[in-house]
Structure 1
């Protein structure tokens, strides 16, 4: 089966946004006694908050996951999809348990171990909504097809709004908010896979609606930052609020608007190869980026206390210094996840972004001619949802 290269690119961007965002907002400060503590530049430099609108890309991540789930419907059962999520997480936990035992034997302070453990396992929260959505992929897709993506998403938004009004006094608010909020981009991704949410008009409508929602929510008193800020009375991400949903809708709208430009870019071998490489290791990148940050920081602390890596985020100089550390962190992450090794064996081939349009237009006039023709029809079905109806009418 061929993949949609533009959606793969959006998934890669979403993973990259999460990784870079965490590396920029997580300051590991070495105390005078040698222990590690955490701090956030958003607490000392609130003017940086708008940057989180670009780097908090969980909405795009769930959008691409919903798209992939709709495309995979009927090919892989829930057990296969669960294994693809759980096995890398179990590997992380196994390696982490060994490292934790070693650190205890070496006498690493408990405060440092607590920080390292919290950062290492915190990305695992994504398993709850992803496993739930994969298990409910069939019913969710049926609902989107029957009632339309906007009605289904609107119902989930209403649930998130009710939870925001209830506040922390409502027991069990967190898991319900996580499922309701991230189901919105997930269902929009399913609709996009079916060709029901495509084109510049749909993208503009989502982008404008989401941006207007963000402005209204900030005016109503929601935090400006898309991620949590230490000491703040409210977080837009824990649990996800209406702000998180509005940001997801905005990002999806912008993604639909730039889709044609991305398709042209991915016609080039270099960008297409980079997108394939990142997508083959997306789960590993997501799971290991925080342990890499902790490991590099802890190891270099034995050499010297370095600006931007071990110092408190007190001003813009810290941000500049931290940005300078990003290439090293990325290099270590690439080595740890195999990004610098040869490509994995993969049964699914990413078709060039331009093939779908060319084949769809050629299919109306060119005669069918054996196996090559059959491959082209399959490519249309898998990579161009709006032209799926035309593919079914092609001669075999």
Structure 2
């Protein structure tokens, strides 16, 4: 608690605490949603199985409009990425070193998860457990990685997409939304694969709204014609197409987004915003136009609640709680399904695993103790693996600079919005800088490839390591290359 009080006291006055709160709330809601909707049963052999309860709960489909918070995470990510990239450049850093630090926040806890799963799977395989069963358990534990794969595509595109934002403002997400609509039309008239580009276009559109939110906040109080802050955008395109932040604008976005979503879901789109096995399409995988209209409504609600939330976060205890969650937020997200596996296994071994019918009174009553027990198991996992994420921070010259400046804001979560982190000296122009940028791109590509291969490999595939060996090798190679670059390799003469 003393450490949290110190970090809270060191938070700069200008930090957008609301962004940190939204990130924490989004991940907590994802975790609670997955746990609450888990339907545990038994297969014909008596082994425990798990599936989504949503197909049996059609009355809960409208509730998924609140439970679907992945757009909030991309929105917050856009805000934080714009803030940190701008700060990095203002401090004389380059986009590659910025990207390496961003990647480290995401990959260190992910690497810990994959290595533990691979090691545990290898031990189970050597002990004689069927390779298909090993893969099924590992597949379930790595479900959160599908989201990380999408995010690791969006983050490296930040410098280029932020440049487009500075030139064209809100026209960029509008153009991306049009491409999403075209992808939806393609999968409605032809094969579902025609909508695959929506994974990129949809999440990029939400990420761009985060840019717009941040730059509208960075603009001086006097409006577009007042002297700008040093890190505020200055191109006319942004000033012309900037995001309005007034309560009236928030109410308009909320009501307009909800109305559009209702019209779309009465029409060709499903009501549920989470995956429902058997539905004609999934609004979130890939993102659909209906998900983007819901995102507009969510953004409106965020703008309406910002002022009271900021006042609340000026109090010490709420802000300390937000700091605590954000320090391990990715660990919480990555391990929450592993917690479910461990609890189900323990209850099954003890002969105490309840399997009431989904939607029954017994099933609904079981939600409370089920979630509470899962929270205890997850807390233990976070205590073990959380330090891996919490230790990821500034390196090299950035650490020295922060000490000289008297500290600054603590790095909180995978998208900290405080002072910049430098990964050593920029490589500078010339072939070294070009090679460093190319290796960085290749490292991210290898990691994304690995996560996609794992997600696409069937859960019944015989994988003795739990994850495909090729995917694990590609991931370790990519993450290892990024780690070497961040430590300074390739940037010294």
- After TM superposition, the score normalised by the length of structure 1 is 0.81
Q: 1:185 to 1:294 in 2, by over 3 A?
A: same
CA-CA distance at 1:345 after TM superposition: 6.9
Equivalent residue, structure 2, for 1:123: 144
Alignment of 1:34-73 (within 5 A): 34-73=46-85
Equivalent residue, structure 1, for 2:489: none
User: Is the 8 Å Cα contact of residues 156 and 181 (structure 1) preserved in structure 2?
Assistant: yes
Equivalent residue, structure 1, for 2:330: 283
1:347-388 C-alpha deviation (Å, 9 max, x unpaired): 79xxxxxxxxxxxxxxxxxxxxxx99xx9xxxxxx89xxxxx
CA-CA distance at 1:159 after TM superposition: 1.0
Equivalent residue, structure 2, for 1:324: 369
CA-CA distance at 1:44 after TM superposition: 1.2
Alignment of 1:256-335 (within 5 A): 256-307=303-354, 310-335=355-380
Alignment of 1:1-396 (within 5 A): 2=12, 3-74=15-86, 75=88, 77-108=98-129, 112-149=133-170, 151-167=171-187, 169-170=190-191, 172-173=193-194, 175-195=196-216, 196-197=242-243, 198-307=245-354, 310-338=355-383
Q: 1:173 to 1:121 in 2, by over 3 A?
A: farther
CA-CA distance at 1:55 after TM superposition: 1.4
User: Is the 8 Å Cα contact of residues 186 and 195 (structure 2) preserved in structure 1?
Assistant: no
Give the match's secondary structure for 1:133: helix
1:12-46 C-alpha deviation (Å, 9 max, x unpaired): 11111111111122323223523232332211121
Which range moves more in the overlay, 298-307 or 9-18? 298-307
Q: 1:259 to 1:316 in 2, by over 3 A?
A: farther
User: Is the 8 Å Cα contact of residues 37 and 111 (structure 1) preserved in structure 2?
Assistant: no
CA-CA distance at 1:316 after TM superposition: 4.4
Question: 2:341 and 2:199 mapped to 1: Cα distance?
Answer: 26
Question: 1:340 and 1:118 mapped to 2: Cα distance?
Answer: 20
CA-CA distance at 1:172 after TM superposition: 4.8
Give the match's secondary structure for 1:29: strand
- After TM superposition, the score normalised by the length of structure 2 is 0.65
Q: 1:102 to 1:340 in 2, by over 3 A?
A: closer
Q: 1:203 to 1:258 in 2, by over 3 A?
A: same
Number of equivalenced pairs:
350
Question: 2:346 and 2:356 mapped to 1: Cα distance?
Answer: 15
Equivalent residue, structure 2, for 1:362: none
Moved >3 Å (runs of 4+) = 105-115, 168-175, 339-348
Give the match's secondary structure for 1:39: strand
CA-CA distance at 1:110 after TM superposition: 5.3
CA-CA distance at 1:272 after TM superposition: 0.9
User: Is the 8 Å Cα contact of residues 36 and 115 (structure 1) preserved in structure 2?
Assistant: no
Question: 1:96 and 1:315 mapped to 2: Cα distance?
Answer: 34
Q: 1:204 to 1:275 in 2, by over 3 A?
A: same
Question: 1:72 and 1:253 mapped to 2: Cα distance?
Answer: 24
User: Is the 8 Å Cα contact of residues 213 and 246 (structure 1) preserved in structure 2?
Assistant: yes
Give the match's secondary structure for 2:49: strand
Question: 1:49 and 1:292 mapped to 2: Cα distance?
Answer: 26
CA-CA distance at 1:97 after TM superposition: 0.6
1:203-253 C-alpha deviation (Å, 9 max, x unpaired): 222212210121011110311111111222222122221122122221121
Q: 1:158 to 1:100 in 2, by over 3 A?
A: same
Question: 2:19 and 2:156 mapped to 1: Cα distance?
Answer: 22
1:120-140 C-alpha deviation (Å, 9 max, x unpaired): 122112233322222121221
List gaps (5 residues or longer) in structure 2: 1-10, 89-96, 217-241, 395-404, 409-416, 419-493
CA-CA distance at 1:331 after TM superposition: 2.2
1:48-76 C-alpha deviation (Å, 9 max, x unpaired): 11221111100101001111100111425
Q: 1:111 to 1:305 in 2, by over 3 A?
A: farther
List gaps (5 residues or longer) in structure 1: 349-370, 376-381, 384-396
User: Is the 8 Å Cα contact of residues 206 and 295 (structure 2) preserved in structure 1?
Assistant: yes
Question: 2:35 and 2:78 mapped to 1: Cα distance?
Answer: 26
Which range moves more in the overlay, 60-69 or 181-190? 181-190
